[in-house]
Amino acid sequence: MKFLDHLEEWLIAFLMGAATLVTFIAVLHRYASGMPIPGLQDALIKINTSWAQELTIYMFVWMAKFGAAYGVRTGIHVGVDVLVNKLNTPWRNKFIVFGLLAGALFTLIVGTLGAKFVWGIAQTDQTTPDMELPKWIVYMAIPLGSYLMSFRFLQVTWVFIKTGELPKHDHAHVEGLEDEVKA
């Protein structure tokens, strides 16, 4: 479990950083190859960076799907809890469990639809336009991410029923500023 947690964290942090670098390098490349420096310009134009946009998009889609699962585990997904928070504890708990199970159900259905869809696309020769990767591999983000998310919802439900604790991301909290506040 710890391994899966780390893999998830490592993957999304990596995708975030890598996508930023790829886009940054593509911009630098376009800018530099626009400068009429003899020799260098020809060399730069020969380097093809047309895949950069596509790669960035796919990296972020994968980050979004796996990050959404990580977000369930850390309680980052926002909901309208104004009403529910006004209820007494037993009722409030019922609603929370209902919400978590609804999340598990939705992601389970989407994961299965996604798996069916990927299976269908895998029967074709579709590729992405720029990198010409098989489309079904790229679309794997949907079933993988959704099943992982469903698993995370069930995990959180289980812990909540057993301990009454809910992961809660504090959107009002930003790390690294405590020291400045004190100073």
Partner 1 sequence: QAPIIIKFSHVVASDTPKGKAAERFKELAEKATKGRVKVELYPNSTLYKDKEEMEALQLGAVQMLAPSLAKFGPLGVKEFEVFDLPYIFPFKDVLYQVTEGPIGKSLMQKLEPKGITGLAFWDNGFKIMSANKPLHMPADFKGLKMRIQSSKVLDAQMRALGANPQVLAFSEVYQALQTGVVDGTENPPSNMYTQKMHEVQKHLTVSNHGYLGYAVIVNKKFWDGLPADIRAQLDTAMKGATSYANAIADQENGRAMDAIRKSGKTTIYELTPAEKAEWRKALLPVQTEMEGRIGKDLIASIRKLSTAGGK
Partner 2 sequence: MNAAIIFVLLLVLMLTGMPISISLGLTVLAFLFTMTSVPVESVALKLFTGIENFEIMAIPFFILAGNFLTHGGVARRMINFATSMVGHWHGGLALAGVLACALFAAVSGSSPATVVAIGSIILPAMVKQGYPKGFGAGVITTSGALGILIPPSIVMVMYSVSTNTSVGQLFMAGVVPGLLLAFCLGLTTWFLARKHNYPRMPKATWKERFTAFRKSAWGLLLIVIVMGGIYTGMFTPTEAAAVSAVYAFVIAVFVYKDMGLKKVPKVLLDSAAMSAMLLYIITNAVLFSFLMTSENIPQAMAAWIMDKGFGMISFLFVVNILLLLAGNVMEPSSIVLIMAPILFPVATTLGIDPVHFGIIMVVNMEVGMCHPPVGLNLYVASGITKMGITELTVAVLPWLLTMLAFLMLITYVPQITLWLPNLVFK
* Interacting residues with partner 2 between 100 and 139 (CB under 8 A): 100, 102-103, 105-106, 109-110, 113-114, 116-117, 120, 139
Interface segment toward partner 2; rule CB under 8 A; list 36-44, 141-149, 155-163: 141-149
Question: Shortest Cβ distance from residue 173 to partner 1 (Å)?
Answer: 36
Contact 79, 99 (CB under 8 A): yes
Our CB check for partner 2 shows the closer of 20 and 124 to be 20
Contact segment (CB under 8 A) with partner 1 among 16-24, 75-83, 104-112, 129-137 equals 129-137
By CB under 8 A, the residues from 153 to 182 that bind partner 2 are 169-177, 180-181
Are 19 and 56 contacting, i.e. CB atoms less than 8 angstroms apart? yes
Structure tokens at 157: 């439900």
Angle of the 51-74 helix axis to the 2-33 helix axis, nearest 10: 150
| Residue 34: HSE in the Cβ half-sphere, 13 Å Cα cutoff | 6
